[in-house]
Structure 1
């Protein structure tokens, strides 16, 4: 993540597209989330990475492993900016991040917390081989939890 990523990140978090992530958020809350995503690398040994188009170098979204006081378990999460969906970017990025987290990072399991109305993320979790875990703790009571093993 770099400061160049902030304007698009902020715009997403303040838009209706953030509705599946508890948004839209204020600019201050968006900034806190942006800093949280970056700070986890130093504090936890994992965090968020921006998804970049190899040819154009355009930022397409984000993938990350979240944990800490806001998440009961290590979460594999993702989002794409408008116009980047439907081309396999999130699938490729999530597979790579999951492989790193379960392999090199040595985590035993990951979950994805998904808003029940977010069909695209549910389908992506299922394409990744994750399965619903109705008994898992969750940060929001209505979230679906998909377990990656």
Structure 2
């Protein structure tokens, strides 16, 4: 019997990207059930938020990718999540991110997404990664561009209301 894949812990200058715990659930649920989840097909009902939380963790064991919580190293405060999704709902590896209210505008998402993207290319051996972004989510669009991703207007995507940005391996 094969063992389960390890969930990586990644460190950047300011951040620790780590597996989620039950201590992360209240803030995660609060975000997913609020208007802050509008660009993530929310707000979600409690059961749907729980399903998303479990999905982010289960992908590591099933597919070798998933969500990592973004923690500020200095304070231990959980700031949000970054993840690479794959599987039946994501035909290409998809890099996504969100921050909890109060953590935006400080470069945390850029730092976390860049670290996980680099892990995906380097350690996991991916050759390209995409980000699906709502056209009205200007902050995420700008972040994808800062990360070097390129908008593909003719790419297959989850729906016509979603933009696809492609991150290419160095």
TM-score range, shorter chain: over 0.9
Where does structure 1 lack aligned partners over 5 or more consecutive residues?
none
Q: Choose which of 147, 150, 154 in structure 2 pairs with 1:131.
A: 150
In the alignment, what sits opposite 1:46? 65
Tell me the CA shift for residue 141 of structure 1.
2.5
What does the per-residue CA deviation read over 1:8-54, in whole Å, with 9 as the maximum and x for residues that have no partner? 00000000010000000000000000000000000000111000011
In the alignment, what sits opposite 2:3? none
In the alignment, what sits opposite 1:30? 49
Q: Choose which of 13, 24, 27 in structure 2 pairs with 1:8.
A: 27
In the alignment, what sits opposite 1:73? 92
> In the aligned structure 1, how far is the partner of 2:43 from the partner of 2:143?
22
Q: Choose which of 120, 127, 141 in structure 1 pairs with 2:160.
A: 141
Confirm or deny that 1:89 pairs with 2:100.
no
Tell me the CA shift for residue 135 of structure 1.
2.0
Larger radius of gyration, structure 1 or 2?
Answer: 2
More strand by share: 2
Aligned residues between the structures:
149
In the alignment, what sits opposite 1:111? 130
Q: What TM-score do the two structures reach when normalised by structure 2?
A: 0.86
CA RMSD of superposed structures (Å): 0.7
> In the aligned structure 2, how far is the partner of 1:133 from the partner of 1:101?
20
> In the aligned structure 1, how far is the partner of 2:91 from the partner of 2:63?
14
Runs of 4+ in 1 over 2 A off after TM superposition: none
Q: What TM-score do the two structures reach when normalised by structure 1?
A: 0.98
Confirm or deny that 1:18 pairs with 2:37.
yes
What does the per-residue CA deviation read over 1:69-97, in whole Å, with 9 as the maximum and x for residues that have no partner? 11121000000000001111000000100
Secondary structure of 1:90's counterpart equals: helix
